[in-house]
Structure formats: structure tokens, C-alpha cells
Structure 1
Amino acid sequence: MIKVHSIETMGALDGPGLRIIFFLQGCPLRCLYCHNPDTWKTSGGNEYSSSEIIEKALRYKPYFIKNNGGITFSGGEPLLQAEELIETMKLAKENGLHTALDTSGYYTCSDSVISELLEYTDLVILDIKHEERDMYKKITGLEIDKHRKFKDILKKAKSKIWLKHVVVPGLTDDVEHMESLEKEVRTFPLERVEKFELLPYHSLGEMKYEELGMEYPLKDTEEMDMDKLKELKKHIKLDCLI
């Protein structure tokens, strides 16, 4: 059974075309700018079998066919349920659905489980929190090693790749970081990297922290200035940058 936090139908941001997105319950990362702290706990959520998930997704298959859409598993961190997802991804492919994983690349299962899961994953949307060890830990609270190991496994797979990175004022918004980030992206197989996106930090999740009685880590941080983000993009020379 797969623990699902919430479901979005007809989403247009988490993969190509229109998609049904299953946000899975549980995440070990504690990102400073996380806007879904309610997904952190591994307990809670609604449980679905693989067949129930695919049955729900197939209701929208006519829309997927029209615009190359499909099914996306996001989070939370979907790789925490990687073993359970294998059967679901298999069923999705058997039913002609395009499959995507939106992940930070952190997992607790064996490497072989991740390799098998990627066999049935058409697209991996990978969130690069930071390319340097110290900053990765500062942002997420965890070590970077699992992310790097996932990257190694992904490089050997056949999945297409979208990369994304959140730009936070005073944290990840300097030129040196942009240049280092470009080098990091170039370590991926660029022939499979279809997109690299710099996402502007926003504080929309602050209200959720208040509702949960939690202190928002970046409460004094201004939202990302879009003009500055545009200037920062100029320091990254990659065809896949959007």
C-alpha cells in the first residue's frame, strides 16, 4: 500500500502535458524553504493499492493522450516508498501511461530497488538543493551522500531528466553559486537533460507553519526578485536552462 498525502488532477507543472499527481506522505528532508511541512510525517495520509492508483489515473487517460501527459509521483519524498512504487510504475507502463518522479533523490531502500524503479520511470524531475556538502546540509538538515548516490544511479538509467533549483535571497543567489551550479548540471548526461529551471523562492508556505504551530525558518527572508533572477541566469551557459 502507498501512503498518499493528496492528489492533484489535471496538473500542468509536474511533467509534460496534463497530469495526475500523487503527493506521497513522508519526507526526511527539512528544507528551510519547504512549503509542505504537513507531508513530513511518514504516518498519516490515505492508503491506496497500486491498482487503485492506476484505476484513478486511467480515468484521465483521454486527456493524457491528447497532450502527452501522464502520472507523476511527488511528495514529500516519493523515494521513501520506492519498493511500493515499483509495482505501480509497472502497471502504469502496462496501461500506456507516461510516468514521472518528482524527487530530491533521497532514499532509504537498497540501490537495486532504485535502479529497478527507474526502469519504469520515463522522467525524473530532480531537485538540486545544493551542489556543495556544507550548504546542502544547511538547507536540508541531511548529508548530501544519498543525493549523490541517486545521481549515480540515474546517470546509468534511461529516464529523461528535468533539473530544478530554488534560488533563495542571501542563501543561493550569488554569481559564484550559479557558476558552480552549472558545473554540477554538466555532470549529468546532457543528452537526457531536457530542462533545467531556476525557481524563485517564495514564502507561500509560511501560513502552513503557523497552522501547524511551527516557526518558519526563513520568516525574515524577502521573496526572490525576478529581475535579479533574470540576471543570475545569464551566468549559466546551458541550452537546457529555461
Structure 2
Amino acid sequence: MTTTYAEPEVEIPLEEMLSEEGHIHSVETCGTVDGPGLRYVLFLHGCPLRCQYCHNPDAQGKPSGKVTTAGEALKDVVKYKNFIRSGGLTISGGEPLMQPEFVHAVFRGAKEAGLHTALDTSGFAGHHATDALLQNVDLVLLDIKSWDPDIYKETTGVRISPTLEFAERLERLGIDVWIRFVLVPGLTDVESNIDGLARFVSTLGNVAKVEILPFHKMGESKYKQLGLPYKLAETKEPSNQDIIKARSIFARYGVTAI
């Protein structure tokens, strides 16, 4: 079945769009890892995934938390325009595409303000993003948690197919993508799993970068605060050799991973 993405017949005025309310988790005004350059990173609340290594478990579930309008959020972003001029705005989460209208409004306003825009997403809710929203996105940071469907389900609690469909759609639209893959010993580091992901990435013509992110336990304390079990408490961080091996698997398909 082919998924369609309905577009409005008439573009809604930006002023009207900026009245859209969204649920904010947190803000980072000098981000350096979520896209090129120095960036304002807006983390939204709400996520359908339950990633075992999630460092923001308090952002999972339906969107809640601090409510603000897209206009108020954009006003704060623009205050930092001179600092992030060589970088831009990244909207992350949680899963930002659980609040697509809010994301669309903020990105459209940011583009009109002359800022580079990046969307950090798992792609699972990619069907919520209209083409009009994506027209205001310069870069997608696409987190592909695994390739093997069973490992993906174990890692995230959801299916992988929506993410792969979104990746292919981004290629059709010609939107630049950075692929992110978290290397978790004993979970996602199975060679066949990495090999399958590398092979898939090699078929995409719009991938500008592949990042292998080493697993860490920075979110473990939040699980304790929330009274949630942390399944990876005994898992060690990957060694440099583990990361080098993963990079070499991508290299088999002519893909440079960093």
C-alpha cells in the first residue's frame, strides 16, 4: 500500500501557523552535535519508541510538559540568530514528528529568518510529515537503531519498516540526511545487523554522513528517578576496536562512517 501525504490547497499564513501550540521538553542554546555548526536545539516531548538506551525517558509517551506556541518558540530561537548564523536550528525529542504542525510552523519561521534547519527523528512517525513540512527542512538526522527487524523491535519496541520507508521518501525528495546508528554491545553490534544497515545506506543517494554513536549510560540516573528498570545497566560501552570494526563493515559498501 502506498502512503499518501495530503497537502493543503492553500498555504496557511505563517502568522496563523505560529499560534500552534507544542509541548517542550528542554532547550539547548549552544548545541554542537545535532547538525552542522553551533545550533539551537529544541527538544520536544513525546515519543512512541521505548529505546533501551534512551537518555530522555521522561520524554516518552504522549506529548506533555511545558506548552508554548510556535511563535513563542521561534522568538526565542531568533534571539540567538547571530550566534547560530553558521549553524542553525535543530528540532529533536522525544520524537518531534508527534507534533508535526508545531514543527512545521517553527521550521517555516526559521527558514524565513534565514536559518538552517535540521530535523532529528527516528523516522517512525515520518508519515506525519507532509511534503510542505519537509520543504522547510535542510537536513534530517535519521536515527536508524538497527537493521534486523527483531533486533530493532527489541531495541525500540516498534517496527523498523516505517523508518526505512521514510528514508526512501527523503531520498526521493532530495533532502540531505545524516544517518545515526548507536552501537550497543550485545544488542545492535551483531555483524549481520550492521552489514544489512550498511548495505541499505549504500543504496541511498542523499546520505551526506554516517555517524556511529557509541552506547553510553548518561540516561541511567533518569530511569532511577522515574522508578523505571534500566535494562542495559550491565552493558559495557563499546571499545575503540568495536567502533573500528563497525566502520569497516560500512566500508565494504563504499560508505564512510565516522
Please give the TM-score of this superposition, normalised by the length of structure 2. 0.86
In the alignment, is the contact (CA less than 8 A) between 1:20 and 1:70 conserved in 2?
A: yes
What CA deviation, in whole Å up to 9, does each residue of 1:103-122 have, x standing for no partner?
00021764xx4322111000
Q: CA deviation at 1:84?
A: 2.2
Q: What whole-Å deviation, never above 9, does each CA across 1:108-155 have from its counterpart, x for those lacking one? A: 764xx4322111000000001112222211111111232122223212
Tell me the equivalent position of 2:143. 127
Q: Which letter does structure 1 place at the counterpart of 2:93?
A: G
Alpha-carbon distance between aligned partners in 2 of 1:121 and 1:155, rounded to the nearest angstrom: 13
User: Percent identity between the aligned chains?
Assistant: 42
How far is the alpha carbon of 1:99 from its aligned partner? Answer: 0.5
Q: CA-atom RMSD, angstroms? A: 1.6
| 1:43, distance to aligned residue in structure 2 (A) | 4.3
Q: Please say if 1:21 is aligned against 2:37.
A: no
1:234 counterpart SS class: helix
- Structure 1 length as normaliser, TM-score? 0.92
CA distance in 2, matches of 1:195, 1:70: 18
1:203 maps to which residue?
A: 217
4+ runs deviating over 3 angstroms = none
Asked if 1:163 is matched to 2:179, the reply is: yes
Instruction: Check the 8 A contact 1:114/1:153 in 2, yes or no.
Output: no
**More displaced 10-residue stretch of structure 1: 22-31 or 174-183:** 174-183
Map 1:76-91; keep pairs closer than 5 Å: 76-91=94-109
Distance 1:25 1:226 in 2: 33
C-alpha separation in 2, matches of 1:117 and 1:176: 35
Q: How many residues end up aligned between the 2 structures?
A: 236
Contact 1:194–1:240, Cα closer than 8 Å, also in 2 = no
Answer whether contact 2:116 2:138 (CA < 8 A) is retained: yes
Aligned counterparts, 1:138-217, within 5 A: 138-189=154-205, 192-217=206-231
Contact residue 25 and residue 76 of structure 1 kept, 8 A = yes
SS across alignment from 2:179: strand
| 1-structure distance, mates of 2:214, 2:147 | 17
Deviation (angstroms), 1:162: 0.5
Q: Say whether the 8 Å CA contact 2:35–2:118 is kept in structure 1.
A: yes
Which ranges of structure 2 fall in alignment gaps of 5 or more residues?
1-20
Amino acid at match of 1:20: Y
Report SS of the residue matched to 2:105: helix
> Relative to structure 2, which stretch is displaced further, 114-123 or 5-14?
114-123
Q: What pairs with 1:32-71 in structure 2 (closer than 5 Å)?
A: 32-65=52-85, 68-71=86-89
Contact 2:250 2:256 in 1 (8 A): no
